[in-house]
Structure 1
């Protein structure tokens, strides 16, 4: 009761203060108890003790873990930096296996690490990458890789060092994924990129595939290197096009990278990109090894035409300029590519390219190679191609009629003759009156040609008769001279 009176009744200043303090304690007894218990739990917790112990030292647990990772990486780098050719009998297989084990350990550390590496670690790792990747490539064993199309049996020649290089590429790729490009700029410079692109000459398809993935990653993340990478790849293409007897296994892989680059171009296209089409992509139709990378090349060209249909005329004229003379396989590929280009070309350019394009197709359907002739005839089944030709039918049809009539009379293949007859009937139904005029004109030209041939033969007969008469007279004179001398 006394306590209640002290809290509720009027008191002196000191008693009043005491009453307030007791009232406050009664108002929150649970809160004080809970805070006290929590404090006791925290004090008795072993985790708290460990954190105190860590704080009492100079570093944190994360710092100690990172230091141990760095020390382990530094211990692995010397073993991983030794390069083995796998061709030298003095190389120890056990040492090669040891290096592979160390590379796997290094890859595991980089995968599991959740912190960024410092400059010393990155410098050591990139020195190891350069020592493994930038090595002299062996000379080409066969030229079939550069002449024939992609064929696993002919192209697949895995490198003996791939068991190591595969892990090296994985390490490189992991670093690109988890490290800020600005931090790697010191190590991935222009010289590094040029050396990286030079590795596309490797005959190992697995290595080229890994290179392609790494270059894709660098181009997408290192935006400040995009212009330089495009220029460096262009230098590789131009060296391959214009240097004699040059073999390069990675042109198709580089074109795959360019395909994704072109796909990201904005419209309207920059003049720099249009120059790449005219100065690099179109001349790439010229080398004799075009079959090996034609699929990727055709995709790049079609991407340009899709983005700017007005470039179709430039593409067609450029391909006709580099048309092969004796390579039938290239002719078949180029006919198919031209057919695809025509389907996406700007109709305003139909009339300008109709005559040169149909003239070349007519030469193809007159080819003695049945595959080329049949492919040239199949083009007329394409509705877009026929629509293009119809824009200049007055100029195109006489050339085509002459080629088809030649096929029907002289070609050795019955299948080619049958296809020619089908195309002839289609064109006759399309332009009957014009077709008749073309046949009449062709008959007159053939008659005039026959007349010229007969005149030429008669002239040569007269020359031969005159020469024979002269020879006879000379012989008689010689006989007279000899008889008089006797």
Structure 2
């Protein structure tokens, strides 16, 4: 059966359907005595209110029918009529100066739920959404329902903004919030962006749901990090968290510190990190800015999850470490200098020129150099050896040039220690060379002895005769 037969018919057009006209009718029913308006009659007020509610309920009833936009039997005129009805409802919600009637509010929330909370289609792309972080076409599928969904989201966010949360509490409950969170799996970036705005508004205004909403988001994160590594809305959810963390008071609660250690830091190991690294780095930096003592935990966590073969992730993590150094508690410099420099040195020796150059550029950061200067005796031997390797073996001319510039800077920082490190490197290389010579001589003697033994065995062995019968 076609959609036309199932779709509620449009309400008969009354003389006027606008709120302004209804308010004008209200004012015309006022009682006048001796030329003075002393009030409105109850009959006029009641009838206008009923008329208004009937118009709204009629529009809501029509909008409860959900079009698929893929069924050829659906009528385009009916789809457009629903869009017009949604626009009317949006206008009413925006302009309403008083809370909506309970029946209207209940019907409106039911209509919103019917339109939004639908089964999402299976992923159109079997690859992980984060494998193409720079190409939106590969990871985005635009929903044909969006012309209606956009207006439904606009109505919902206007309700959240304009209505007292205590009045909405009976309609927007925990299950409603959970259903919204599930929609972040939508492949349509436009829907995820609208969801982000709605979800964040609910978090801001519905203070009594905040703990539940944080826990619900944490469950999504943990499921993503430790089980599936598939979710389209991680970037948007991290943007919400960035705003939440920004509002945390100091000292931070233990719950929030655990979120940093158990959720945000393990995010650095996921294969899709490039797609949302900017949002992740912002969340982490907010924690360190609020409590610099957490910098040590964060740096060690990032080093623990350092990628082995993903050069793009390495470049991003070097930049994140550089930003973190700006906010780390200086009391932790000595503890962090050596492990941080070990990783940076491995990166500047990388055969990937982008990784090597990014690791060398970090030496332009004054705060990083200040950290190194606190533990010069421990750090210099590692760094100087890494620089010498680059100058001797690296294939990239630009990397060798940058290495030369850093080497000059290290010489100026502590000429005596730098010379001492070079002498130790030469001594180790000399010992290694002598050991290699001895090893080769030993193998030569073994080969000569084996050859002599083989010759003697052949000389002493009696000849073999082969008998052939005719």
TM over 0.5: yes
Indicate how the Cα distance of structure 1 residues 296 and 44 shifts in structure 2: closer, same or farther if over 3 A, else same: same
Q: Structure 1 residue 159: deviation in Å? A: 1.9
Asked whether 1:288 is paired with 2:271, we answer yes
Q: Structure 1 residue 454: deviation in Å? A: 2.5
1:179 equivalent in structure 2: 163
2:13 equivalent in structure 1: none
CA-to-aligned-CA distance 1:370-418 (integer Å, 9 cap, x gap)? 1100110111111110110111111101001111100000000011001
Structure 1: distance between partners of 2:106 and 2:441:
88
2:26 equivalent in structure 1: none
CA contact (8 A) 2:128 2:230 kept: no
Q: Which SS does the other structure have where 2:33 is aligned?
A: helix
Indicate how the Cα distance of structure 1 residues 243 and 477 shifts in structure 2: closer, same or farther if over 3 A, else same: farther
1:163 equivalent in structure 2: 147
CA-to-aligned-CA distance 1:80-139 (integer Å, 9 cap, x gap)? 122223233333323322221221222222223333123322222111111111112223
Q: 1:113 aligns with which of 91, 96, 111?
A: 96
Q: Which SS does the other structure have where 2:298 is aligned?
A: helix
What aligned pairs does 1:217-366 form with structure 2 within 5 A after superposition?
Answer: 217-244=201-228, 246-366=229-349
Q: Which SS does the other structure have where 2:440 is aligned?
A: helix
1:20 equivalent in structure 2: none
CA contact (8 A) 1:240 1:248 kept: yes
TM-score by length of 1: 0.84
Structure 1: distance between partners of 2:455 and 2:64:
92
Indicate how the Cα distance of structure 1 residues 460 and 129 shifts in structure 2: closer, same or farther if over 3 A, else same: farther
* Structure 1 unaligned regions, length at least 5: 1-40
Structure 2: distance between partners of 1:470 and 1:127:
95
Asked whether 1:190 is paired with 2:180, we answer no
* C-alpha RMSD over aligned residues: 2.3
CA contact (8 A) 2:177 2:213 kept: yes
Q: Which SS does the other structure have where 1:243 is aligned?
A: helix
CA contact (8 A) 1:144 1:154 kept: no
CA contact (8 A) 1:241 1:283 kept: yes
Q: 1:483 aligns with which of 462, 465, 468?
A: 465
Structure 1: distance between partners of 2:300 and 2:181:
31
Indicate how the Cα distance of structure 1 residues 459 and 201 shifts in structure 2: closer, same or farther if over 3 A, else same: farther
CA contact (8 A) 2:124 2:141 kept: no
Q: How many residues matched?
A: 437
Q: Structure 1 residue 483: deviation in Å? A: 2.8
Structure 1: distance between partners of 2:428 and 2:445:
26
CA contact (8 A) 1:358 1:400 kept: yes
1:5 equivalent in structure 2: none
Compare CA radii of gyration and give the structure with the larger one: 1
1:124 equivalent in structure 2: 107
2:12 equivalent in structure 1: none
Considering fraction of residues, name the structure with more helix: 1
Q: 2:442 aligns with which of 456, 459, 463?
A: 459
Q: Structure 1 residue 472: deviation in Å? A: 4.9
2:76 equivalent in structure 1: 93
2:33 equivalent in structure 1: 43
CA contact (8 A) 1:282 1:318 kept: yes
CA-to-aligned-CA distance 1:190-236 (integer Å, 9 cap, x gap)? 22111111211222221111111111110111001101111111111
TM-score by length of 2: 0.87
Structure 2: distance between partners of 1:45 and 1:464:
127
CA-to-aligned-CA distance 1:434-472 (integer Å, 9 cap, x gap)? 111111111111112222223333333344444445555
Larger deviation, residues 175-184 vs 269-278: 175-184
Structure 2: distance between partners of 1:90 and 1:448:
85
Q: 2:380 aligns with which of 386, 392, 397?
A: 397
Q: Which SS does the other structure have where 1:482 is aligned?
A: coil
Q: 2:418 aligns with which of 435, 438, 441?
A: 435
